[in-house]
Amino acid sequence: MRDHPRDRQTTVDLVELDLPDGSRCIVTVRQGTSESSLTAAPTSRDEAERKALDYLRRRLAAGDRLVRRDGFDALDVPEAARPTGAKSPAAPQAVPSAIVALAARFHPAPWKLESPERRARAAWRVAECSVADDTPAQRTLRALVPRLVDLLGSGDDLLDLCLAAAIGRLGDPGAAEAMRELSQRGRSAATQRFAHQAWLMLQAPEALRAHTDAVAAEWQDTLDLTDNGGDLADRLGEKLDANRRTWAHLLPAWYDIALVRPDVRVRLLDVLRALPLEAGTFQGVRYVYKTAELRRDTEVVGVLHARFENTGPGARPTSQRRKRIRAYGPRTRDYLRLRGWRHLRRLAAIEHPAAPDLAVQLLLGLADGDQPEARDEHRWAYVDGRYQRTLRHHHAGAGWLIVPKLLLPEMPGLQAGARGKRWWTQMPLDVTRPMPERTEGLRAMWDRHPDALLRLAMGSRSALVHAVVARALQDHAGFVREQPEPVLAALLRSAYDPTAAIGFDAARARVEATTDTAAQVPWLRLMVTGPHAAARDYALLHLASHPAAFARHTDLVVAMLLAADDRTRRQGGGLALLAPAAELLVELQSALLAADAAAPGLAEGAAAIEALLKGSLATAAADAVLAHPGALLPLLDHPAAAVVGVGTTWLLLHPAGTALLPPPLLTRLLSADDLDRRACGVRLLAALPDNVLRGQVGLLGDLAVHEHAGIRAAIGPALRRVAAADTEAAQALAHRLHQALFQAEPGEGVHDDALAWLTQDLAAFAPARDPSGTWRALQARSTGAQRYGAWALGSLQPADYSLRQQATLVRHADVTVRDWGRRAIDTTLPAVPTSEQSADLLPLADSTFDDAVAYTQALFGERLPDDALGTELLIAWVDHPQAWVQALGRARLVRRMSATEASLCLMRLSQHPSPQVQLFVTQWLLELPVDDPVQLAQQMRALTPYFLAVLSQVHRGRVAKSRITAFLRAQTQAPETAAVVAEIFARQVVTASLTDKPQYIAGLRDIAAKHPQVDLPFLSWKAPAIRTA
């Protein structure tokens, strides 16, 4: 069964296992790729059939449609809810004058005077007027069959085709042989096909089945395919290519087989809906379309008409020599779309009983999901003597040619193109309510057959159709109220408000016509569970007037608990408190088992039911665990995780509930792909006896750090019980949780839960709380490990770590660790620290947090005296990337500037990239010893990279550059230092700017004047040496 042919399909199977007599039957439910069971264990055949029938009845009552069945004869339900026809007066016994005149045209004398075209038209008119009724008019037409047979071959090929259509529809078996002969000797393939179909229409059931069996044997390889829809079409295409057959062979053959095999018909319709309309497929589709017209198979005609409306002609081929790739051109498509409307118009004109069915099927193809989005178009129109800009609103169905002719011809303001291919309105159509006035065409036909309007309301997937049909049904309110319950239920369940309002009006009349609550309950249940807000409000208000009386009807209460509307669920929860507990629990088990996994509000309804089971129904539900285990355990195998959760909660209400759980079922839950289902399995696992859980410590640990929060919460009680009862198990669990903190977090909240267990329930067994383990946790990359280290740090003393480690902790990301580190330093650091202790505090300079930076600035700037700061430490401060640390280092280093430390400072700070540090370094140049030129030259040569770096700066560092230039020019007295300065100036004079270049040249001239022996290539040309090979 299924809701709609395009929706998912559910299959219910009763399977008899190869087991000893007695309990050997199970019931399985397959929905797509998922499979569940209605029986927790093999049971008797009667019990299995009872469960299957109960499931089927509940799903059918919820709106599902039975597609086919094999067995289950006790399921006495119609395959589809169909409205009852309108009562019409008895047909007159006299033959209509039009039929008399039509029959007279076939008399020999007037027949000779007819043109070939009018002869063919007369034969086709007989086919149109034929009906499978035993009325005088039809008897008159059937009396023409011998004459029609005599006329075969007397005219052109078109006359033979029309005669075959008329003979086939009139249904006189005596003409079967003539049709067989014509199907073999017809002058065209079209006539042969029509004659063949006429022959099939005249066959007895046994002969027809024999013929279709022979055809099926020929195409058995295609009939054996198990695919559906588009996949089936693809597989059939592969089969045809392999067998060198075409769609023009397969589709008519399948259509013939479908005359006696409903399963083939269902699959053929799937293929016709999914088959691409291309050049290779269109011929077969056209054959089926015309055959369906001949058989008056309105469903197939409607399906193919929708394909023609929704499928454009495609692009024109770029070359006439190339094989045509499109199915049809624009004219062919327009002809096919108009053909359906013209056929319907002719049938309606003669009040043919097939006209309403054809109209319904043509409109059922219009579906909102298959149409493009509505759009607005701005056009310039000549209005009142000038061009004005106008707005055209194109509805989603504006591309359907039949809509303005059949659905909206009487709508004011409707405009259409010259050829009627597109239509539009000035304002968007409001399809959320019935049309203000009736707009449909062929109104007389609809008024004679309001049941056709009801079928449209029950089956259409177009909001526009529902808005039009709802307005038409308002004129037939009395007829609607006379419909059976399945029809009104289908109207109330409609997702379209105009149609649901029609059903609500009829259902409200039924409720108000009786005071018996039992008679009102079915209608109220439909109202509160339906999508129509007005019906739901009315039903809830009516239920509130007599809550105790309606609470006795547990099916109503459970339906409200599982409804999609939150207000309905809340009121259902209130009625559940007044309902008889035993009956309510039985109904809950059956309703949950038959619940649709995709139903809206199922998760919320299941949560409300769980709250009832844990609250007012706890005692009764616990007693029901052992009383009805066969009905409860299948809930754990339901496709919906929410239902599995209810079954788990219910089963755990009884202490012995887990003893009833089959091991395979628990295994399936624990290994389920759906994490919510797996969480339910973990809850059941956690409820097992402690002696069993103690042997699964590894599994408990893995579940405690699972990525899914529900699984972690489910295993929590078991983890605490095992840890309290077994010290070794507690230590193993704590070790597993501690290990997880150092790993990447698999899911949100894993580290939070692990920390909660380690710091609370397992605090006595938490590992690695010593200084070494705590330090490792604090320095780990994982935030969870750092938080664990911060917790463990609270139990340690400052003496457990060195001063440098304490300083490192002050810059930690965790604020509690920083606080602990500052307190530890304040406790450990003496009033007058040594230089070594001051050096250990250097990691404080790397702090980036405001509180740590403020503490470090106060400590370095105020608490550490100059005597406690070594030169190396001050240089490290000056060389630090933090600007405030550099400034503090320069300020403290200036205080102890001396000649003995000048070389050290210059060498250590000369490579610093900061302009401020470079300027600071120039102060130490004056402290260099100048009494030994050789030693000074060596130092200057070592500082050459520093000099070049400062002098090469552009548009910055002017003060530092001036100081260095002055220093270098002052060191040209000795030849050793002059040679170093010459090298520096010779390089700079080439690359320096025009502003700095003159002083470099002047320096080089001074060196040349003082020391002629110094090699100055800049001032004298030297020819390069000649290289020889």
Tokens 């202790």 sit at which residue? 837
Q: Collapsing DSSP states into helix, strand and coil, what is residue 387?
A: strand
CA 486 from centre of chain:
32
Q: Is the pLDDT of residue 163 over 80?
A: yes
Task: Name which of 587, 556, 588 is nearest 572 in CA terms.
Answer: 556
One-letter amino acid identity for 2?
A: R
Report the predicted TM-score, pTM, of the whole model to 2 decimal places. Answer: 0.72
Query: Measured between alpha carbons, how far is 709 from 507 in angstroms, rounded to an integer?
Result: 46
Higher pLDDT: 962 or 225? It is 225
* ∠ CA 173-177-182, rounded to 5°: 120
Across 568-606, b (16+ Cβ under 10 Å) vs e yields bbebbbebbeebebeebbbbbbbbbbbbbbebebbebbb
Taking only the tens place, the pLDDT of each residue in 761-771 is: 888 888 988 99
Percent of the chain with pLDDT over 70: 89
Q: Look up residue 504 and give its two tokens.
A: 């609500």
Q: Quick one: three-class SS letters along 195-217?
A: HHHHHHHCCCHHHHHHHHHHHHH
Q: Is the pLDDT of residue 803 over 80?
A: yes
Going by pLDDT thresholds of 50, 70 and 90, the confidence category of residue 92 is: low
Q: Is the pLDDT of residue 88 over 80?
A: no
Q: Specify the DSSP element, H or E, that contains 657.
A: none
One-letter amino acid identity for 387?
A: Y
Higher pLDDT: 902 or 242? It is 242
One-letter amino acid identity for 589?
A: Q
Q: Are 170 and 130 in contact (CB under 8 A)?
A: yes
Cα Rg, the chain, nearest whole Å: 47
Going by pLDDT thresholds of 50, 70 and 90, the confidence category of residue 301 is: very high
pLDDT at 252: 95
- The structural domains of the chain, with segments of one domain joined by +, span 1-77, 524-764, 802-864
If one counts every other C-beta atom within 10 angstroms of the C-beta of residue 368, the result is 15
pLDDT at 920: 60
Bridge partners for 34 per DSSP: 31
pLDDT at 893: 64
Bridge partners for 36 per DSSP: 29
Q: Specify the DSSP element, H or E, that contains 446.
A: helix 443-448
pLDDT at 134: 85
Across 496-508, b (16+ Cβ under 10 Å) vs e yields bbbbbbbbbbbbb
- H helices within 202-349, ranges in order? 205-218, 220-223, 229-243, 247-257, 262-274, 279-295, 298-310, 330-349
Q: Is the pLDDT of residue 608 over 90?
A: yes
199 class by beta-carbon count within 10 Å (0-12 exposed, 13-18 middle, 19+ buried)? buried
Going by pLDDT thresholds of 50, 70 and 90, the confidence category of residue 322 is: very low
pLDDT at 554: 93
pLDDT at 147: 93
Higher pLDDT: 84 or 199? It is 199
Task: Name which of 777, 813, 820 is nearest 795 in CA terms.
Answer: 820
pLDDT at 207: 94
Q: What is the mean pLDDT of the chain?
A: 85
Candidate from 41-45, 397-401, 436-440, 507-511 with smallest mean pLDDT:
41-45
- Write the CA distances from 581 to 557, 595, 607, 624, integer angstroms: 11, 20, 18, 10
Task: Name which of 649, 721, 670, 716 is nearest 692 in CA terms.
Answer: 721
Taking only the tens place, the pLDDT of each residue in 54-69 is: 888 888 777 777 777 7
Q: What is the dihedral of CA 222, 225, 227, 230, to 10 degrees?
A: -10
Going by pLDDT thresholds of 50, 70 and 90, the confidence category of residue 187 is: very high
Q: DSSP of 689-730, one letter per residue?
A: -HHHHGGGHHHHHHHHT-S-HHHHHHHHHHHHHHHHH-HHHH
Structure letter (DSSP) for residue 383: E
Across 984-1009, b (16+ Cβ under 10 Å) vs e yields bbbbbbeebeeebeebbeebbebbbe
Q: DSSP of 985-1014, one letter per residue?
A: HHHHHHHS-TTTHHHHHHHHHHHHHH-TTS
One-letter amino acid identity for 612?
A: L
Q: Is the pLDDT of residue 873 over 80?
A: no
Taking only the tens place, the pLDDT of each residue in 28-41 is: 888 777 788 888 77
Higher pLDDT: 307 or 321? It is 307
pLDDT at 1020: 59
If one counts every other C-beta atom within 10 angstroms of the C-beta of residue 107, the result is 10
What average pLDDT score do residues 864-870 get?
72
Query: Measured between alpha carbons, how far is 245 from 234 in angstroms, rounded to an integer?
Result: 14
Starting from the edge strand earliest in sequence, which strands make up the sheet with 34-37, in order? 10-16, 25-31, 34-37
- Sorted by sequence, the CB contacts under 8 Å of residue 849 that are 6+ apart come out as 811, 813, 815, 818
Going by pLDDT thresholds of 50, 70 and 90, the confidence category of residue 579 is: very high
Candidate from 149-158, 579-588, 825-834, 879-888 with smallest mean pLDDT:
879-888
- Sorted by sequence, the CB contacts under 8 Å of residue 969 that are 6+ apart come out as 981, 999, 1003, 1006
Q: Look up residue 476 and give its two tokens.
A: 């037939």
Going by pLDDT thresholds of 50, 70 and 90, the confidence category of residue 553 is: very high
What average pLDDT score do residues 796-818 get?
90
Higher pLDDT: 919 or 628? It is 628
CA 1026 from centre of chain:
81
What average pLDDT score do residues 600-609 get?
92
For domain 524-764, the question of CATH label 1.10.4100 is answered with: no
CA 847 from centre of chain:
47
pLDDT at 609: 93
Q: Look up residue 62 and give its two tokens.
A: 């919820």
Going by pLDDT thresholds of 50, 70 and 90, the confidence category of residue 155 is: confident
Q: Is the pLDDT of residue 681 over 90?
A: no
Q: DSSP of 962-984, one letter per residue?
A: HHHHHHHHHT-SSHHHHHHHHHH
Candidate from 296-305, 461-470, 749-758 with smallest mean pLDDT:
749-758
Q: Collapsing DSSP states into helix, strand and coil, what is residue 427?
A: coil
Q: Look up residue 474 and give its two tokens.
A: 């308002």
Q: Specify the DSSP element, H or E, that contains 867.
A: none
Q: Specify the DSSP element, H or E, that contains 525.
A: helix 517-529
Q: Look up residue 586 and give its two tokens.
A: 């039985």
